[in-house]
Structure 1
Amino acid sequence: MIRPVLIILVLLVIAVSPASAAEVLQVRTPSLLQVGDRNRTYTVELPCLTVPEGGDAAAVSWLRERLPRRRRVNLRPVGSRDGHLLARVTPIGETVDLSTGLVNAGLAQSSCPGDPA
């Protein structure tokens, strides 16, 4: 009798525990973010971006406005470069990834051929 109750209790605890999403720890540059999950940190590079000369401060400001510390994000990896994860980063609850958002805001240009961003 006690065994089925324990099994149900364990299943309830597992079902209720929140999923861990990646969180933004720091905006380093217009294309580099420090992101972490429960036990790791990653340097994530936003792909397909070219920020015009002199536009770094505005792009970083735009990113920091949208990514306060601990903001949860979805990562869609597209590759790696120089030890950095290249990934499309979308804040949870939003539909546009940050690369596309920077391009749409006029703060960067898309540098990938055929990229809709």
Structure 2
Amino acid sequence: MTAALNRRQLREAVMHGFRTNSRLIEAGIRPQTGPAFLALLNQGALPRTEFETFIGLQPREACNQLSKVINVGLAVSSASNRHTLRVGLPLWFAQDIFPDFSLAKSEVKPG
């Protein structure tokens, strides 16, 4: 687990996921959105405007990418605070960036 949380390895895993994950590709999420998600993952929460700035695309496309990220569950925005994003980490993406997670989970036996 310590190796998986190494910043360099985590960055590589997230960027690889944003380039190759079929759900992200089908959703139209561009690889350029990876660094913004990584910043959100590292911090746990970010202002929407900061996330869009991290994407580095034109404002309209950055907003579009953010909507797609929310739709697939990688980011969460509550109705009570729409200006702040929290990290969402669906199991299908967690297994992509933490490949040993699924192995460790399957080894745990109910006691």
Question: Could you say which structure has the higher helix fraction?
Answer: 2
Question: Could you say which structure has the higher strand fraction?
Answer: 1
The alignment's TM-score, normalised by the length of structure 2, stands at 0.27
The alignment's TM-score, normalised by the length of structure 1, stands at 0.26
